[in-house]
Amino acid sequence: MKVEKHPSTCEDLLSLLTGISIPKPIYAKEMDHGYKMFSEDVKILKSIAKQLSKNIAMTDRQYALVKRKIETYRDQFLKNDIDIDLYMHELMFPLRTIDRSHWIKIMTYAGEDMLAIRFPFSKKIIARLEEIRCLDLHTNHAKLFEDNTHFFYITPKNLFGLVNIAKRFESKFFIQPDILQTYDKLQEYDNDRIKYVPGVYNYEIKNLPEQAITDLEQAIGNPKDNLALYYDRRLLYGLSHFENTEVDKSLFYLSPLANAIVKRKDATMLIPAKKFTINSILDALIELKRFPLLVVLDNKKALDGLVSIHNATTNFTKTEDISVLFRLDGEKNEFNQYVKDKKINNMVAKNTKIVYINNTKLPKPLLQSGWIPSCTLSYGGKSLSFNNVTSYVQQFDLQIVYEDASSNTYWNRTERKLIHGFV
């Protein structure tokens, strides 16, 4: 359907200006009616016209924009004997009603109570929400969204972050009263962190139980001498506050790999075998006082992993302090023979420095011994599937995955997130 020379609606005026037929007929092409638009108007006006050509009405804001833009071309319409005032307020399609509500509430999503924030599309707000999602280990980035509403698990960090975003648009957002009350309490904590937030303040540990402070000092010494080690244990002890300048000074004396391990954002860290030797990893763990060590071997690479790590640790680990808690099938298996020859088939004891297990079975003697590693090292860890071994490993605050892989990332099935390796 070709637009008539003399229009009858605002949409007709827009059609003449853009050359796009509204509504769009079959096989229609853009037409040149002799109207010239400013370059800055072309994209937005043609976009609205194409929307209308699909029988999708304008919103009130789109309509206001179109009227304002058409007014700037009044002279061109007059040259064609068209008085825009006669048609500007006539519409082919009734305006679409848009829900522009802004709010934060607790809602049920997928059978679970969650924090919900709702607003009309805004790139700026979405960008801020993504910052929160990146810090939330439990949020599935791909799904928690429906009808302009974003869902987050109920945690103090998420609640505090969402309300902070909303307060930037205070006149728009309604915030559920009990959420505001919780926020005010969190704000009180944040404003007086030294009273509430666990951390190291001027080299002094605060807001931790006395037993935890004693355990830390016995394990890694005084914060003034070993602040980098305290920062390394922040995930384990919930230490949320550090003075950045003090941490930087302490990190200066560590090797690059030890430095990277300390600065990890998550418990799991992928270290690519193509860039680092097993010796460099073990040296870094010594720097960080991360022994005793649990080594998880992939059955397919068990011999290679055992020989590699054992050779790298003989200079600082006694034979009696090593325990290999599994064997491979086969009477003359090279792995089993190596364990026997090297006499590293010891029982797990209090002073055991390194324990080896495989990736398929969690040995009962390990659990019964009460032995607790300071960190774990998965040799070929990308192949580990979700089982009782991975469940056990992922309770620790430092889980190194040493993998000979082309990619520097892998998908952590348990935590449902992408793990980035140190490059």
Are 237 and 361 part of one and the same domain? no
**Run means of pLDDT, 10 residues per run, the chain, 423 residues:** 67 94 70 91 95 93 96 95 94 91 92 92 85 64 74 92 87 90 90 88 94 92 96 94 94 95 90 91 97 94 95 96 95 92 96 96 94 94 68 92 67 52 48
User: Has residue 200 been placed in a domain?
Assistant: no
Structural domain contains residue 409: yes
- On whether both 284 and 411 belong to a single domain, the answer is yes
Q: Tell whether 282 and 342 lie within a shared domain.
A: yes
**Within this chain, do residues 154 and 231 fall inside the same structural domain, yes or no?**
no
Choosing from 251, 284, 319, the residue where a domain stops is: 251
Residue 217 pLDDT = 93
Structural domain includes residue 96 = no
Do both 122 and 261 map to the same domain?
no
* 43 and 175 fall within a common domain: no
pTM: 0.62
pLDDT per residue as tens digits for the range 25-61: 655 568 888 899 999 999 999 999 999 999 999 999 9
Residues 290 and 322 in one domain: yes
Q: Is residue 124 part of a domain?
A: yes
The dihedral through the CA atoms of 106, 107, 112, 117 has a sign that is negative
What is the pLDDT at residue 375?
Answer: 96
Pair 295, 412 in one domain: yes
Verify that 216 and 229 share a domain, yes or no.
Answer: yes
The residue whose two tokens read 């309509």 is: 63
User: Residue 408 has what pLDDT?
Assistant: 55
What's the confidence (pLDDT) of residue 332?
84
pLDDT at 382: 58
User: Is residue 93 in some structural domain?
Assistant: no
C-alpha span between 334 and 348 (Å, rounded): 23
| 273 lies in the same domain as 363 | yes
Q: Are residues 264 and 407 in the same domain?
A: yes
CATH number of the domain bearing residue 263: 3.40.50
The structural domain count of the chain equals 4
Q: Is residue 77 part of a domain?
A: yes
Residue 320: domain span: 256-420
pLDDT one-digit tens code per residue, 224-253: 999 999 999 999 999 999 999 999 999 999
| Residue 286 in domain | yes
Distances in Å between the Cα of 51 and the Cα atoms of 9, 28, 54, 61 are: 16, 15, 5, 14
> Is residue 292 within 8 Å of 353, Cβ to Cβ?
yes
What contacts 290, CB < 8 A, 6 or more positions away? 374, 375, 398
- Whether residue 322 is found in the same domain as residue 398: yes
- Count CB-CB contacts under 10 A for residue 392: 16
Q: For position 136, what pLDDT does the model report?
A: 62
Tell me the pairing of strands 293-297 and 417-420.
unpaired
Is 95 inside a domain boundary? no
